[in-house]
Amino acid sequence: MSTMTKTSEHLLYLMACALQGVSAREEVLADADLKQLLIMARKHSVASMVCMALEKTAIFANADEATKKQWIDAKNKAIRKNMLLDAERKTILHELETQGIWYMPLKGSILKDWYPKPGMREMADNDILFDPSGREQVREIFQNRGYKTVSFRKGNHDVYEKAPIYNFEMHVELYHKIYDTFNEKYADVKQRLIPDAEVPYRLHFTPEDFYAFVIAHAYKHYSGSGTGIRTLADIYIMNQKLGGTMNWEYVDSELRGMGIFSYERESRELAQKLFGITELPTEANLSETEQQMLAYYLGASTYGTIENRTLNKMRKLQPDGGAITAHTKRKYLLSRIFPGREWCEAYAPTVYKYPVLLPFFWVWRLAVKGVKRRDIAKQELEAIKRER
């Protein structure tokens, strides 16, 4: 298939086997490169999932011990990490309940339990929405548990970390103001949440609202830096869990209102074609649009790429939607070197509050950030040059 390498074909095939709980066929994996496969699986945060299908095969049994150990270690690490995060999250949420702070777990902490096996869906952090009036109390909860405050009151979420693997993003809003459509949609999100029947102060989305929110979050990344193949697995799993009982008329209305109806439909159909059957994806099975979409997912990795982010931002600045012009490139560069107040509201709130600081902030950003993040700046410049 023109859009995929053999390694990506094997990755998708083994993911489908793991998601459906069926044994992989040896002949399909006869020419698999397990080392390259592991590199790609890690890139997309699906090493544990792939290992759960791969470890039952003869090609795995006959692999060298070092390669097998790397795969098993990746799987066991994911399982252990999920267990530790689950236990810590339970403790944190109990603290919130004790102090009367309403909350709602988000995204992966819900999705992971819908996968066929524990640890199949890898986790990087915990995302929790909570009552903004309890922001100081929440910081104290984390500090009392030995966490480092990485970010506080600098955007729509605060970040707390503790060795070896604990990372919590505590949200007071679901979206930065720079994502105007999504921010407006979820500005008063508490009004649409449902109290838990058993746990006080715990709130939930309806299944339909949960689905729409996860799709919106996926699109935020997809249209920015990009997002990896795990996102398609999440969409597949959500539809397996919720698709048969949701009010699709309501879901479609919500998606249309956010301008992501086509993205959801195309991603859902692609996910079903990839993971709904345990066959290698073929050119005949995927439309040209689906091939392009899959190539974008495969090229992005879990957290996207600098090139995707740069190109997508320039495309948004191009007024006619055509080829990116030299004028648009200059406009993009100026916006990166001299960000305006709207950007500062989300990422530099002190500067936003005191506009007189803006020129000094620009100088500091060039002198300090320009040096510390010069590799990223170099990648951006290369992406700009490549775009013709």
Task: Name which of 121, 112, 108, 110 is nearest 50 in CA terms.
Answer: 121
Among the listed residues 184, 161, 160, 179, the one whose alpha carbon sits nearest the alpha carbon of residue 171: 160
H-assigned helices in the chain? 6-20, 34-43, 47-54, 58-61, 65-98, 108-111, 135-144, 180-185, 207-222, 229-242, 248-257, 261-275, 288-300, 306-317, 326-337, 341-347, 349-353, 358-364, 370-372, 374-386
Stated length of the chain:
388
pLDDT value at residue 1: 44
Residue in 193, 147, 151, 201 with CA at minimum distance from that of residue 176: 151
Q: Which residues pair with 159 in a beta bridge?
A: 151, 169
Contact by Cβ (8 Å): 368, 377? no
Distance CA 229, CA 231 (A): 5
Sheet of 157-162: strand order equals 103-105, 126-130, 166-171, 157-162, 148-151
For 294, residues 6+ apart whose C-beta sits below 8 A from its C-beta are: 3, 4, 270, 274, 281, 286
> Is 360 exposed, middle or buried (CB count within 10 Å of its CB: 0-12, 13-18, 19+)?
exposed
> Are the beta carbons of 97 and 202 closer than 8 angstroms?
yes
d(CA 72, CA 230): 19
d(CA 314, CA 304): 16
Q: Is 21 helix (H, G, I), strand (E, B) or coil?
A: coil
Alpha helices in 156-247 (DSSP H): 180-185, 207-222, 229-242
100 C-beta neighbours (distance < 10 Å), count:
11
pLDDT of residue 162: 96
C-alpha R_g of the chain: 22
Q: Output the CA torsion 291→314→347→146 (10° steps).
A: 30
- How far CA 6 is from CA of 1, 36, 40, 83, 281, in Å, comes to 9, 10, 11, 33, 11
* Residue 160: partners with Cβ closer than 8 Å, 6 or more residues away: 139, 142, 147, 148, 149, 150, 166, 167, 168, 170
User: Average pLDDT for consecutive 10-residue bins of the chain (388 residues)?
Assistant: 80 96 94 96 97 97 96 97 96 97 95 96 94 97 97 92 95 85 90 94 97 96 89 98 97 97 97 89 80 91 67 72 76 80 78 85 80 72 69
Judged on CB neighbours under 10 Å (0-12, 13-18, 19+), 358 is middle
Domains of the chain by start residue, with CATH: 81-304 (3.30.460.40), 306-388 (no CATH)
β pairing state of 203-204 and 194-195: antiparallel
Angle between helices 374-386 and 326-337 (to 10 degrees): 170
